[in-house]
Amino acid sequence: MFPKLDPLLHSELRLAVMSILAEADQADFTYLRKQTGATSGNLSVQIDKLQSAGYIAVEKGFKGKMPCTTCKITAAGAEAFERYVNALKEYIG
């Protein structure tokens, strides 16, 4: 029997964000938007979902006078991502 996939991570954009944060540890909103090709609105909604689940931490601040939102993967998020990747490996064989 195949393991259940985390429905929160089984979204292309949320999975992309988690993949980037798993490698980079943290990234700002602009970088995530450029890397994923997502619209600002869609990315913002998906970041909120990941934050609500406790998978990422979001810090809002400023770089000079410009607002800056930085996302960082949490320990729970890293564990969930690792479980998801391992489950996918079982599907592939």
Q: Where are the domains of the chain?
A: 26-92
Class of domain 26-92: mainly alpha
Reported for 29-33, long-range contacts at CB under 8 A and 24+ positions apart, including other chains, are: 29/68, 29/69, 29/70, 29/71, 32/71
pLDDT tens sequence across 34-81: 999 999 999 999 999 999 999 999 999 998 999 999 999 999 999 999
Its pTM stands at: 0.93
Distance CA 27, CA 20 (A): 8
Confidence of residue 16 (pLDDT cuts 50, 70, 90): very high
